[in-house]
Amino acid sequence: MHELGLCEGIVEAALKRAGDRRVRAVRVRVTGHPVDPAVIEQGFRMAAAGTLAADASVELVQELAEVRCRACGTEGRADGALGLTACAHCGALDVEATGEEEAFLESITVDEPAGTGG
Ligand SMILES: [Zn+2]
């Protein structure tokens, strides 16, 4: 895996979107392989240290991987017909992930600009 490089990209994207506002929270969507939220958060902390996103909370949205059983050919989402490690249909352990593995910044929450003059 390459969580730190991935987190650097996410921090960069968040800062670009935030402009000069402080980033309060980021939502990251991950598809393909399940990741440990703690690892992503830790990577984010390292990448965001000293930036306007340093205090942002990280919310991880995981999309289920698409998987296919090589033994019987059954395809599905990882928590539907198939698990990531064993086929729920035939029980074979020869299951491969077919979906694209990626992570990207879905949305950010920033500080409201001070004094909007309302
Ligand atoms: Zn199977």
| CA 72 – ligand 1 centroid, Å | 4
Residues 40 and 47: their CA atoms lie apart, in Å, by 10
Residue 115 in any domain: the answer is no
The enclosing domain of 67 has a CATH number of 3.30.2320.50
Which is nearest to 82 in space by CA: 91, 33, 63, 102? 91
Please write the tens of the pLDDT for every residue from 47-86: 999 999 999 999 999 887 788 999 999 998 877 666 778 8
Count of domains for the chain: 1
Average pLDDT of the residues in 89-101: 85
Residue 91 in any domain: the answer is yes
Please write the tens of the pLDDT for every residue from 6-60: 899 999 999 999 999 999 999 999 887 777 888 889 999 999 999 999 999 999 9
| CA 65 – ligand 1 centroid, Å | 16
- Which letter, b or e, does each residue of 28-66 get, where b requires 16 or more Cβ atoms within 10 Å of its Cβ? bebbbeebeeeebbebbbebbeebbbeebebbbebebbb
Residues 47 and 44: their CA atoms lie apart, in Å, by 5
Q: 2: which 2 tokens? A: 């390459």
| CA 91 – ligand 1 centroid, Å | 6
What pLDDT shows up at residue 104?
85
Q: Which domain holds residue 47?
A: 3-110
Q: Give the count of beta carbons closer than 10 Å to the beta carbon of residue 6.
A: 21
Query: pTM of the prediction?
Result: 0.70
| CA 71 – ligand 1 centroid, Å | 5
Residue 117 in any domain: the answer is no
| CA 64 – ligand 1 centroid, Å | 18
Q: Which ranges constitute the DSSP H helices of the chain?
A: 3-18, 37-48
More confidently predicted of 37 and 102: 37
Residue 85 in any domain: the answer is yes
Residue 92 in any domain: the answer is yes
